[in-house]
């Protein structure tokens, strides 16, 4: 169904993003994985997707909170695969702690760091 299409899934080295990437691969899309994590683990994920689904999969560790990195991710994808058809904006960071340990919500660096990757990435990608 998606044979010949190319997808970037940000935040796809684990969790929901990885699930989305695997589903796109199962439908035939070539992929660019993106996110943070152990290099060996990410490479094993990338190879596993290629092997299991017969698609091409690449990895780009671009930081979605930095505009230049986002633009580089798009350019690198197009240079490698010749196109970009699908973009899933899933990147984000998480803070795991009991609710009473969360910082106050307004104006803190903590909350800016949570939301900046998504808003920066969205703005940068929509400019093209």
What pLDDT, in 10s, does the model give residues 3-17?
999 999 999 999 999
Token pair 């152990």: residue: 38
Count of alpha carbons within 13 Å of 118, Cβ hemisphere only? Answer: 11
- Interatomic CA distance for residues 4 and 45, integer angstroms: 21
- Interatomic CA distance for residues 45 and 48, integer angstroms: 5
Residue 3 pLDDT: 97
Residue 99 pLDDT: 74
Per-residue HEC secondary structure of 18-76 comes to HHHHHHHHHCCCEEEEECCCCHHHHHHHHHHHHHHHCCCEEEECCCCCCHHHHHHHHHH
**Tokens standing for 106?**
């307004």
The CA-based dihedral angle spanning residues 123, 36, 49, 33, taken in that order and rounded to the nearest 10 degrees: 20
| pLDDT tens-place values along the chain, 128 residues long | 999 999 999 999 999 999 999 999 999 999 999 999 999 999 999 999 999 999 999 999 998 888 889 899 999 999 999 999 999 998 876 667 787 777 666 656 655 665 555 555 555 555 55
């Amino acid at each position: 169904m998606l044979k010949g299409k190319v997808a970037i899934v940000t935040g796809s080295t684990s969790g929901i993003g990885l699930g989305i990437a695997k589903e796109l691969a199962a439908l035939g899309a070539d992929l660019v994985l993106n996110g943070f994590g152990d290099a060996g683990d990410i490479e094993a994920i990338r190879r596993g997707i290629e092997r299991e689904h017969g698609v091409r999969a690449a990895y780009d560790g671009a930081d979605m909170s930095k505009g230049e990195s986002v633009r580089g991710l798009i350019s690198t994808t197009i240079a490698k695969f010749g196109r970009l058809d699908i973009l899933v904006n899933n990147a984000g960071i998480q803070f795991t702690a009991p609710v009473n340990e969360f910082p106050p919500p307004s104006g803190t660096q903590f909350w800016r760091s949570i939301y900046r990757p998504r808003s920066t990435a969205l703005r940068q990608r929509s400019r093209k």
